[in-house]
Amino acid sequence: MDRTNQVYEGKAKKVFATTDPEIYVVEYKDDATAFNGLKKGTIAGKGVINNRVTNHLMRLIEDNGIPTHYVRQISDRETAVRKVKIIPIEVIVRNIAAGSLSKRLGLPEGTKLSSTVLEYCYKDDELGDPMINEYHIKAMGLASEEELRLIADYSFRINRILCGYLQDLKIELIDFKLEFGKTSDGTVILADEISPDTCRFWDTETGEKLDKDRFRRDLGHVEDAYQEILRRLMGA
Ligand code: UDP
């Protein structure tokens, strides 16, 4: 299986076709953006860390019975994944108020939500990924009712798997974003990445932010935070 032409370049990753029609290769970049591309920068070593962190968590999720696109890591920055058509919905899972939810609802960051909140956003950069609900998803034909039920069920289960695992590493999972895709036979599987770019991770004891908010909010020690997440996950 060899990498052939590039099929997509996003803000943090490139995707390549391969000689196997069912397999893509993802390459993680050090580029970082925030606020819908308004803030741009690089985080040295981020691509290598996000590749490893994502694969570690994808394997954990797969081992717990949820299908993912993960196939195998190829190099520091590259991973072979199952080819999917991405469902244009970002699923946000929230355990504790932060970011846009805090702003929208006036809940101070760090407020524990008494039950897990699921939100959906329509994946469209030009529109700034607007929040949508089940009715929009159905009306726009973004996913069928059955697919959406599965996506919601998987998202809650992934939340429980990740929260339990990270708790032992003294990492609090505040919120995160998931994307799902469909394989050529229509199976819905978890795709994209799960990393400090797409999750809020707070140190359980100190509350220190160990994620992309350090970049978004110019908190400093961005690289150190990403490195610390990798270190805890790898048990080093
Ligand atoms: N998130 C993401 N990509 C997006 C939007 C959000 O990965 O395009 C993640 C973000 O890192 C956080 C969670 O989803 O872990 C919730 O983000 P929020 O809606 O609070 O938006 P933000 O405050 O990041 O603008």
- Distance, CA 177 to ligand 1 centroid (Å)? 6
Q: Which pLDDT score is estimated for 236?
A: 59
Q: How far apart are CA 44 and CA 29, in angstroms?
A: 9
Q: Residue 24: CB within 6 Å of ligand 1?
A: no
Q: Residue 50: CB within 6 Å of ligand 1?
A: no
* Coil vs helix vs strand at 171: strand
Q: What share of the chain is helix, strand, coil (3-state, %, to 5)?
A: 30, 35, 35
Q: Which pLDDT score is estimated for 125?
A: 92
Q: Residue 52: CB within 6 Å of ligand 1?
A: no
Pair of tokens at residue 161: 């798997």
Pair of tokens at residue 13: 């990753």
pLDDT mean for each 10 residues of the chain (236 residues): 95 97 98 94 98 98 98 98 98 98 98 98 96 98 98 98 98 98 98 98 98 98 98 90
The pTM assigned to this predicted structure is 0.97
* Coil vs helix vs strand at 34: strand
| Domains of the chain, first to last | 3-82 (3.30.200.20), 85-221 (3.30.470.20)
Closest ligand 1 atom to Cα of 174: 15
- Distance, CA 84 to ligand 1 centroid (Å)? 23
Q: How far apart are CA 17 and CA 133, in angstroms?
A: 33
Q: Which pLDDT score is estimated for 168?
A: 97
- Distance, CA 85 to ligand 1 centroid (Å)? 22
Q: How far apart are CA 175 and CA 116, in angstroms?
A: 9
Q: Which pLDDT score is estimated for 1?
A: 86
